[in-house]
Amino acid sequence: MSKDDQLHHVEIIMREMLKIQQKSKMFVELLSEGESLSQNQLILLLQLKINDGMKATEVADFFSVTPGAVTSMCDKLEKLDLVQRVRENEDRRVVKMVLTKNGEIKVQNLFLKFSQDKLTDMAKILSDVNQLMQEIF
């Protein structure tokens, strides 16, 4: 492969990755449309749902923020009865953030904005994209 071919492929990859990033941002904007919570708060709720709760340090790592910022974010969500702090049985010093029943309902309602057909299409397409990405990395 010539250097020009390589550079052409690099340009295609950069362009397509930026498109994916823009589409992901649009998706988060659709989810957060009309919501009183910030996009980061909504993403945190989704992360807690997917991971069945997370330690504060995991949340801080995910968002690349300080533990203090996580405390502030979780305090707000806790006041809204969307998350609760739970101490682990094995090590009482470890605190895990988990969704409350209201938090679970909030996450479900975020996706009820979409029709069943749209949800089915999104699930299929995103699964396909992730499968293809798995082959690359």
Stretch 79-98: mean pLDDT, rounded? 89
Whether the predicted pLDDT of 64 surpasses 80: yes
Is 22 part of a structural domain of the chain?
Answer: no
Is 13 part of a structural domain of the chain?
Answer: no
Whether the predicted pLDDT of 113 surpasses 90: no
Domain that holds residue 63: 36-112
Average pLDDT, the chain: 92
- Cα 107 from Cα 48, distance rounded (Å): 10
Cα separation values, 83 from 46, 55, 78, 109, 128, Å: 11, 12, 5, 16, 32
pLDDT tens, 4-24?
889 999 999 999 999 999 998
How many structural domains does the chain have? 1
CATH of the domain at 78: 1.10.10.10
Predicted local confidence at residue 110, as pLDDT: 92
pLDDT tens, 26-56?
988 988 999 999 999 999 999 999 999 999 8
Is 7 part of a structural domain of the chain?
Answer: no
List the single range of 44-53, 66-75, 83-92 with lowest mean pLDDT.
Answer: 83-92
Residue 29 near residue 90 (C-beta atoms within 8 A): no
The secondary element (H helix, E strand) that includes residue 3 is helix 3-32
Both tokens of 37, joined, read 């919570």
Is 4 part of a structural domain of the chain?
Answer: no
The secondary element (H helix, E strand) that includes residue 44 is helix 39-51
Stretch 81-110: mean pLDDT, rounded? 91
Name the residue with higher pLDDT: 28 or 101.
101
Is 2 part of a structural domain of the chain?
Answer: no
Predicted local confidence at residue 127, as pLDDT: 92
Q: In 45-102, which ranges are E strands?
A: 54-55, 83-87, 95-99
Stretch 98-125: mean pLDDT, rounded? 94
Is 136 part of a structural domain of the chain?
Answer: no
Is 47 part of a structural domain of the chain?
Answer: yes
